[in-house]
Amino acid sequence: MYREERLQVRRRGGRKRALGTRAPMTIPQGGNQRWSLDFVSDAFACGRRFRIFAVVDDFTRECVRLIADTSISGLRVTRELDWAIAERARPAMIVSDNGTELTSMAILRWSKERNVEWHYIAPGQPQQNGFIESFNARLRDECLNETIFTSLPQARSVLAAWRHDYNHHRPHSSLGNMTPAEMAAKSVGKPVWGLTPKPVVITPTDGHQSGHRLYS
């Protein structure tokens, strides 16, 4: 009777998600060739949760971005990536897990507009994103577990100081005992794209003019 009267409810399809790539990744041979990103969670003394968005350059081990907020959407991720590109250069590839924010339409649109390949690791396989996982463990052991956070401004201040110390004063054995900043300076003379980048003004995906110059 339901079929005859056409009363059946139509099934809704799932939302469109960014697909990215699953092909094996090449080993980065210079700075800004591949960035890894992830989220870390913590809580204020009052019990309210907040999130930290972290981005690491897989070649230099630099912490490119370390952003704290109570909520970080996919659109906010694209804005932060635009700021990072304005300060550095556009990466050839970005690696992440399959979190909701990172498979959003905002990410899909951003990766196409910026011509940045987005690689998703296999679900439940965090070891495939080993650079950011190692960074997250160090961040938690050295900063998050050692600090009682009372407010968002205080958390941002603590994280900014820790990031500066990590980039400029922490030698890595994998980098020949150089700091990430020293490794980045050493690789500056080897442009990722092989050409002098041309500055262009790019408008973030939320429609607001950034005022930053990004490099193509």
**Integer CA distances (angstroms), 26 to 58, 103, 141, 149, in order:** 11, 22, 30, 39
β-pairing verdict for 63-69 and 49-57: antiparallel
β-pairing verdict for 213-215 and 199-201: antiparallel
Q: How do residues 28-80 score in pLDDT, each as one tens digit?
A: 788 899 999 999 999 999 999 999 999 999 999 999 999 999 999 999 999 99
**What is the Rg, in whole angstroms, of the alpha carbon atoms belonging to the chain?**
20
Q: Which residues are registered as beta bridge partners of 140?
A: none
**Integer CA distances (angstroms), 167 to 81, 170, 172, 185, in order:** 18, 6, 10, 12
Residue with tokens 């970080």: 72
Could you tell me the pTM of the whole model? 0.76
Q: What is the dihedral of CA 108, 56, 164, 167, to 10 degrees?
A: -150
Q: What is the pLDDT of residue 30?
A: 87
Question: Residue 47 belongs to what H/E stretch?
Answer: none
Rounded distance between C-alpha atoms, residue 180 and residue 16, angstroms: 37
Q: What is the dihedral of CA 62, 68, 74, 80, to 10 degrees?
A: -50
Range with the lowest mean pLDDT among 1-5, 12-16, 30-34, 116-120?
A: 12-16
Residue 118 above 80 pLDDT?
Answer: yes
Q: What is the pLDDT of residue 52?
A: 98
Rounded distance between C-alpha atoms, residue 111 and residue 166, angstroms: 28
Q: Is 82 helix (H, G, I), strand (E, B) or coil?
A: helix
- Mean pLDDT over 171-187 rounds to 90
Residue 1 above 80 pLDDT?
Answer: no
Residue with tokens 């809704």: 12
Residue 160 above 80 pLDDT?
Answer: yes
